[in-house]
Amino acid sequence: MMIDDGMIREWPRRFATAWRFLTIIPLGPEADLSPERLGKSMAMFPAVGLVLGLILVGLHALLGYVFPTLLVDLSVISSLILMTGGLHLDGFADSIDGLAGGRNREEILEIMRDSRVGVIGVIALILLIFFKVVSLDQCPERWKPGLLLCMPCMGRWSMLQMSAFSRYAREGEGTGRAFADFSGRPEYLVGFVFTSAAVIPALGLKGLLILGLIGLTTYLTTRFFEARLGGVTGDTHGFTGELSEALFLLLGAAVL
Residue pair 169/55 in contact by the 8 Å Cβ criterion: no
* pLDDT for residue 226 is more than 60: yes
pLDDT band at 5, cuts 50/70/90?
low
Q: What is the pLDDT of residues 166-192, one digit of tens each?
A: 999 987 777 788 888 888 899 999 999
Q: How far apart are CA 176 and CA 233, in angstroms?
A: 5
Q: Which helix (H) or strand (E) holds 219?
A: helix 185-229
Q: Residue 12 and residue 122: Cα distance in Å, rounded?
A: 37
The pTM score is: 0.93
- Return mean pLDDT, the chain: 92
> pLDDT tens digit string along 91-141?
999 999 999 999 999 999 999 998 889 999 999 999 999 999 999 999 999
Beta-bridge partner residues of 168: 232
Helix 144-164 vs helix 45-63: angle between axes, to the nearest 10 degrees?
160
> Taking the C-alpha atoms of 158, 163, 168 and 170 in order, what is their torsion angle to the nearest 10 degrees?
40
Which is nearest to 195 in space by CA: 177, 176, 218, 167? 218
Per-residue pLDDT reduced to its tens digit, 63-82: 999 999 999 999 999 999 99
